[in-house]
Amino acid sequence: MKTLIIIRERDYTWLRTVFPDIHPLLFPICNKPFIEFLIDFSILAGSEAVRIVSDGSLIDVEEYCDNGSLWGTAISYSSIMSMDDQLAVIDKNRRFCSEEKILIISGLVFIQYDKLHDYKSLFASQPNGDLLVCNGGRLSLAGNPPELQKNSPLLSLSLIALDSLDGYYRLCMEILGFASSPYVLPGYNNEAYCHIGRNVVISKSAEIRKPVMIGNNVQILEDAIIGPGAVIGSNVIIDRKSTVTESIVLANTYIGEQLEVQNKIAAGNMLIEPEGGICITMDDPHLLTGIKKSGSVGSLLQFLVHSFAALLLITLQLIPFLILSPILTIQGKWKKSKNIYYTGTVGETLTLTTTTIERRGFISSLAAALSLDRFALLFSVLRGHLAVIGSSLELASDSNTTLHAVESWYHAGVFSYAEAEEWPVSGGDKAIVERYFAVHGNPFLDITMTIKAFFNRIHETNTP
């Protein structure tokens, strides 16, 4: 038997809007990524391979799960289109499904099972069709029907949709409530109702009241009280005298002194009330903040290389700029406008003066060919605000005020990678090229690309 896990963007938009940085399949439920529960269940049900299928990006999931060797199963991935129904999905994965029986888990749904029960024989004898259905998705069987078809009741198995923060919260609290968990959960479980991870430092005067789950690298300072009913993620600090009861604290969160977290979900600097789904963002570092992971070293090299390239270009363009721009300004072909753009760092915007040259006549064509309209922007590279080559500048508008409208790979540049290539025709094409080089680029390749972009602009008939 094989398992097909189908997850569509529309199933998880609600979760992605609240937590844009975590892929919903990797979202922790009691400190265990959601996908792991599904993988555990597949193996329990007798599946020898798992394929994860989505109409959205699965890069993060693939990075985490890899080929499935960690769980002793084979995991593969494929893409579908949003409008594909279950039959179309199976068709697109025909080689995977081949002659086997297929267990299909569709939607953002949590399967409530018990690791001690025997599901292998149960699934082996079930006929095809929907086994369990809920408003968020379904569990069904397809493919080769069994020889012995018994429609036996599905004991000890149920399905809940993960469709709201409240639902998520209640699920975690429910799992906490089991003395001996029906699921394999992370952490040392020497006592009932208690799971504690590695490198957890608990002050002598702090109190832990069961049931409680604590992740790795957690610090609980003096006189703090954790629980009853607390799930603490990894890399969390609970400062002095604070209490966390009936709440979930997600990874990388700092909870300040003398605070009372009751019936909440705390994630970074966000505090959420599950029942109403009310989220607030805290700016106050004394209350709640996110704990940031260390930045990359490679960015310094990139800055140096890009600044070097910018300096070269500035030297090359300086004299033409000084001669031609005054002439064009008098002719009225040199137009400047000041706008706000995204830079690529979360929440950061930049006010830039961009120039457009009207290509009419010899002088203006020459100026445009030498990319003199980008001259002023090169100085922003030296200041570290822009890359010399990257994604094309995106106007920050009210409709996409959060950076998440602009994706995580975005890094604004004076030139765009798309300008270095000849094939892009539409905005969509440009995005493809920019995404490709955001991942496959390196500072030295960037110099080559900048030169290519520069030369391409010489031949261009219309300045964008």
Q: CA-CA distance, 418 to 167, in Å (whole number)? A: 44
Annotate each residue in 84-103 with x if it binds other proteins (CB under 8 A) or - if it does not, as one string.
Answer: -------xxxxxx-------
Please state the closest distance from residue 154 (CB atom) to other proteins, in A.
Answer: 30
Please state the closest distance from residue 180 (CB atom) to other proteins, in A.
Answer: 33
Beta bridge partners of 196: 188, 214
- Is 398 among the residues that bind other proteins (CB under 8 A)? no
Both tokens assigned to 66: 């890899």
Closer CB to other proteins, residue 186 or residue 390?
390
CA 162 to chain centre: 18
**Among residue numbers 356 through 395, which ones bind other proteins (CB under 8 A)?**
none
Residue 52: which of 112, 124, 106, 128 has the closest Cα? 106
Q: CA-CA distance, 42 to 37, in Å (whole number)? A: 9
Please state the closest distance from residue 269 (CB atom) to other proteins, in A.
Answer: 11
Chosen residue from 100, 273, 358, 394 binding other proteins by CB under 8 A: 273
HSE-up of residue 307 (Cα within 13 Å, Cβ side): 10
Range in contact with other proteins (rule: CB under 8 A) among 99-107, 199-207, 374-382, 415-423: 415-423
- Is 448 among the residues that bind other proteins (CB under 8 A)? no
Which runs of consecutive H residues, i.e. helices, occur in 288-426?
298-331, 362-369, 375-382, 417-420
* 356 backbone φψ class: left, alpha, beta (φ>0; ψ -120 to 50): beta
CA 161 to chain centre: 21
Q: Helix, strand or coil for residue 83?
A: coil
Please state the closest distance from residue 280 (CB atom) to other proteins, in A.
Answer: 5
Taking the CB of residue 235, how many other CB atoms lie within 10 A of it? Answer: 18
Please state the closest distance from residue 163 (CB atom) to other proteins, in A.
Answer: 21
**Among residue numbers 37 through 56, which ones bind other proteins (CB under 8 A)?**
55
Closer CB to other proteins, residue 303 or residue 409?
409
Residue 230: which of 243, 216, 221, 217 has the closest Cα? 243
Chosen residue from 18, 202, 431, 451 binding other proteins by CB under 8 A: 431
Range in contact with other proteins (rule: CB under 8 A) among 102-110, 177-185, 286-294, 310-318: 286-294
- Is 336 among the residues that bind other proteins (CB under 8 A)? no
Please state the closest distance from residue 62 (CB atom) to other proteins, in A.
Answer: 8
Radius of gyration of the chain, Cα coordinates, nearest whole angstrom: 28
Closer CB to other proteins, residue 308 or residue 409?
409
Q: CA-CA distance, 222 to 241, in Å (whole number)? A: 6
Please state the closest distance from residue 52 (CB atom) to other proteins, in A.
Answer: 12
Residues that bind other proteins (CB under 8 A): 55, 57-59, 62, 77-81, 91-96, 258-262, 264, 271, 273, 276, 278, 280, 282-284, 286-288, 409, 417, 421-425, 428-429, 431-433, 435-437, 439-440
